[in-house]
Amino acid sequence: MKLLRFGDTGAEKPGLMDDTGQIRDLSGQIDDITGDTLSPASLERLRGIDPASLPAVEGAPRIGPCVGSVGKVIAIGLNYADHAAEANMALPEEPIVFFKATSSISGPNDPVEIPRGSSKTDWEIELGVVIGTRAKYVSEADALSHVAGYCIFNDVSERDFQLHRSGQWVKGKSHDTFAPMGPWLVTADAVADPQNLAMSLSVNGQTMQDGSTRTMHFSVATVIAHLSQFMTLNPGDVIATGTPPGVGMGQKPQVYLREGDEMVLSIEGLGEQRQTCIAARD
CATH number at residue 171: 3.90.850.10
Give 47-62 pLDDT, tens digit per residue.
999 999 999 999 999 9
- Work out the percent of the chain whose per-residue pLDDT is above 70: 100
Give the 3-state secondary structure of residue 113: strand
Mean pLDDT of the chain: 96
In-domain check, residue 233: yes
Model confidence at 167: pLDDT above 90: no
Model confidence at 88: pLDDT above 80: no
Give the residue numbers spanning the domain of 246: 67-279
Model confidence at 269: pLDDT above 80: yes
In-domain check, residue 225: yes
Position 87 scores a pLDDT of 75
Give 113-155 pLDDT, tens digit per residue.
999 999 999 999 999 999 999 999 999 999 999 999 999 999 9
- CA-nearest of 212, 233, 230, 273 to 4 is 273
Position 200 scores a pLDDT of 98
The DSSP secondary-structure symbol of 169 reads T
If one counts every other C-beta atom within 10 angstroms of the C-beta of residue 92, the result is 15
Confidence band, pLDDT 50/70/90 cuts, at residue 83: confident
Contact partners, residue 170, CB within 8 Å, separation at least 6: 98, 99, 100, 101
Position 82 scores a pLDDT of 83
- Number of domains within the chain: 1
In-domain check, residue 53: no
- Work out the percent of the chain whose per-residue pLDDT is above 90: 94
Confidence band, pLDDT 50/70/90 cuts, at residue 282: confident
In-domain check, residue 248: yes
Position 30 scores a pLDDT of 98
In-domain check, residue 261: yes
Quick one: average pLDDT of 254-269?
98
Position 113 scores a pLDDT of 98
Confidence band, pLDDT 50/70/90 cuts, at residue 109: very high
> How does DSSP assign 203-250, residue by residue?
ETTEEEEEEEGGGBSS-HHHHHHHHTTTS-B-TT-EEE----S--GGG
Specify the higher pLDDT residue, 222 or 168. 222
Model confidence at 240: pLDDT above 90: yes
In-domain check, residue 228: yes
In-domain check, residue 12: no
In-domain check, residue 44: no
> Do 150 and 132 meet the contact criterion of CB atoms below 8 Å apart?
no
